[in-house]
């Protein structure tokens, strides 16, 4: 079977299925389609599936024309029907893995896919989990579902973990040219999985097991979380010491060895960094071990929106105003510049905290038209000199490149800058995070 499967994969005679057509799944599906591999996307969102089958794109990192061409050619189709797995040779699972309110892993989506796998698993099926999760998920959850019908992983069916490494909006590293870590349950699993991904990835990084691959992703984002936490705490300390943290960071960054630059901000955002370390922390708790660095970094990073709220209060007090009743404009709701992704964005927390204190809050974001707050849909307001001057305080929460900082500084009454976007302006009405 192995040799037959390898030959079919290498000759592009296989059909690939992508379960979950979001920021990870859809770009991956498009790459397989571009490589000439027939691809079926599976998603539970009926509207999303209908949109894709019309060739209409909703992911910033996917080119509209490329998706339309694949749909028109029949190379890519989308469906809500999991029975398609019966006709699929390799399935990549890219469903969400959020945290519960108690910061425990929420693997509801993975369990739902498991239930479908049990129904439609068949000899020769290759299953690759890409969703970020705790170490052991692939072997402990997916493997039993695949073997429930009596098939043997490594002989009859094949199972791997390969963590997604998507960085939305990155102009250099995208799905194809980001090295792909992959770990199989058995040697045969790894051999077949690497053959599948070889069609769409420039570089493959095989590791010894699914657990090693799972931990690789968690280490990457735990590293970032901890170092961002350090930068955030340094910003607070520098402010108390009367030193500019941005100057300190730039000076430290001149060291050609032993230092990597991280910058502070209003908190952590995105689909990975605020969430992934908690998967590892939760797993270690089950082994009676406390992941101390993770817990401390999370505490510091989670406190930053409240710290930004205090900065806003200080800026308003300087103008003899209180937060209660003040008009405040947030610039940027996406979690990082020049994208439309608001998942876990700290700007959402800043918005809610200011509203809770009685402020009249609005937002502008060139990439985000509307956001739901407490059941009410709020729309992005335009930026004009008149609009800027009508607010008591303007808070720069995301430094989109489209923002004309000179205009913002000139026409705003008071500014709280959490991203060092106003550096060099030296205006007394600016209060910057991490500066005296």
What does the pLDDT profile of the chain (436 residues) look like in tens digits?
899 999 999 999 999 999 999 999 999 999 999 999 999 999 999 999 999 999 999 999 999 999 999 999 999 999 999 999 999 999 999 999 988 877 788 999 999 999 999 999 999 999 999 999 999 999 999 999 999 989 999 999 999 999 999 998 899 999 999 999 999 999 999 999 999 999 999 999 999 999 999 999 999 999 999 999 999 999 999 999 999 999 999 999 999 999 999 999 999 998 788 899 999 999 999 999 999 999 999 999 999 999 999 999 999 999 999 999 999 999 999 999 999 999 999 999 999 999 999 999 999 999 999 999 988 999 999 999 999 999 999 999 999 999 999 999 999 999 999 999 999 887 789 999 999 7
Lookup: tokens for 110: 């993975």
Output the pLDDT for position 193: 98
Query: What residues are paired with 184 via a beta bridge?
Result: 160
- Report the alpha-carbon distance of residue 418 to residue 436 in Å, rounded: 13
Active site includes 272?
yes
CATH of the domain at 107: 3.40.50.720
What distance separates the 2 farthest-apart alpha carbons in the chain? 77
Residue 231 in any domain: the answer is: no
Q: Please tell me whether residues 247 and 191 are part of one structural domain.
A: no
Q: Please tell me whether residues 325 and 198 are part of one structural domain.
A: no
Q: Please tell me whether residues 15 and 115 are part of one structural domain.
A: yes
Residue with tokens 């007394």: 428
Q: Please tell me whether residues 202 and 275 are part of one structural domain.
A: no
Contact 336, 263 (CB under 8 A): no
CB within 8 Å of 25: residues ≥ 6 apart: 18, 19, 41, 43, 92, 94, 130
Domain residues for 198?
A: 2-212
Output the pLDDT for position 413: 96
Output the pLDDT for position 215: 97
CA nearest to 332, candidates 380, 270, 264: 380
Q: Please tell me whether residues 403 and 296 are part of one structural domain.
A: yes
Output the pLDDT for position 252: 98
Residue 218 in any domain: the answer is: no
Among residues 92, 189, 238, 272, the one annotated as catalytic is 272
Residue 279 in any domain: the answer is: yes
Q: Please tell me whether residues 407 and 258 are part of one structural domain.
A: yes
How many structural domains are present in the chain? 2
Strand boundaries in 284-354, DSSP class E = 327-331
Residue 228 in any domain: the answer is: no
Scored b (16 or more CB within 10 A) or e, 265-303 reads bbbbbbbbbbbbbbbbbbbbeeeeeebebbeebbebbbe
Q: Please tell me whether residues 176 and 306 are part of one structural domain.
A: no
- Report the alpha-carbon distance of residue 17 to residue 77 in Å, rounded: 10
Query: What residues are paired with 330 via a beta bridge?
Result: 363, 395
Output the pLDDT for position 222: 96
The total of other beta-carbon atoms located within 10 Å of residue 96's CB is 18
Q: Please tell me whether residues 321 and 173 are part of one structural domain.
A: no
- Report the alpha-carbon distance of residue 48 to residue 79 in Å, rounded: 9
Q: Coil, strand or helix: which one is 246?
A: helix
Q: Please tell me whether residues 81 and 194 are part of one structural domain.
A: yes
Q: Please tell me whether residues 155 and 252 are part of one structural domain.
A: no
| Single residue among 171, 193, 212 that ends a domain in this structure | 212
């Amino acid at each position: 079977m192995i040799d037959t499967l390898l030959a079919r994969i290498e000759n592009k005679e296989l059909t690939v299925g992508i379960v979950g057509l979001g920021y990870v799944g859809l770009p991956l599906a498009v790459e397989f389609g571009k490589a000439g591999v027939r691809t079926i996307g599976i998603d539970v969102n009926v509207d999303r599936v209908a949109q894709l089958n019309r060739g209409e794109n909703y992911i910033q990192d996917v080119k509209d024309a490329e998706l339309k061409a694949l749909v028109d050619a029949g190379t890519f189709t989308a469906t809500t029907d999991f029975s398609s797995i019966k006709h699929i040779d390799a399935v990549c699972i890219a469903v969400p893995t959020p945290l519960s309110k108690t910061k425990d892993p929420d693997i509801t989506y993975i369990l739902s896919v498991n239930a479908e796998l049990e129904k439609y698993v068949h000899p020769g099926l290759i299953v690759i989990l890409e969703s970020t999760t705790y170490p052991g998920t692939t072997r402990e959850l997916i493997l039993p579902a695949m073997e429930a019908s009596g098939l043997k992983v490594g002989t009859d069916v094949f199972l791997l973990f390969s963590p997604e490494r998507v960085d939305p909006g990155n102009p250099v590293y995208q799905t194809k040219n980001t090295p792909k870590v992959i770990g199989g349950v058995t040697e045969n699993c790894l051999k077949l999985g690497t053959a599948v991904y070889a069609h769409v990835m420039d570089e493959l990084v095989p590791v010894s097991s699914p657990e090693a691959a799972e931990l690789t992703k968690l280490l990457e984002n735990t590293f970032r979380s901890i170092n961002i936490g350090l930068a955030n705490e340094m910003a607070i300390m520098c402010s108390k010491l009367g030193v500019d943290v941005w100057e300190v960071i730039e000076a430290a960054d001149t060291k050609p060895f032993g230092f990597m630059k991280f910058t502070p901000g209003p908190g952590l955002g995105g689909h990975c960094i605020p969430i992934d370390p908690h998967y590892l922390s939760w797993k270690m708790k089950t082994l009676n071990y406390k992941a101390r660095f993770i817990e401390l970094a999370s505490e510091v990073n989670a406190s930053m929106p409240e710290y930004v709220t205090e900065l806003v209060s200080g800026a308003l007090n300087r103008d003899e105003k209180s937060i209660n009743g003040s008009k405040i404009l947030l610039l940027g709701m996406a979690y990082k510049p020049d994208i439309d992704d608001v998942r876990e964005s700290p700007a959402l927390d800043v918005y809610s905290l200011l509203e809770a204190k009685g402020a009249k809050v609005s937002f502008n974001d060139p990439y985000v038209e509307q956001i739901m707050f407490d059941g009410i849909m709020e729309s992005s307001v335009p930026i004009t000199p008149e609009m800027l001057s009508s607010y008591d305080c303007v808070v720069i929460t995301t430094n989109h490149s489209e923002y004309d900082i000179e205009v913002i500084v000139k026409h705003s009454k008071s500014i709280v800058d959490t991203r060092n976007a106003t550096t060099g302006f030296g205006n007394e009405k600016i209060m910057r995070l991490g500066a005296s």
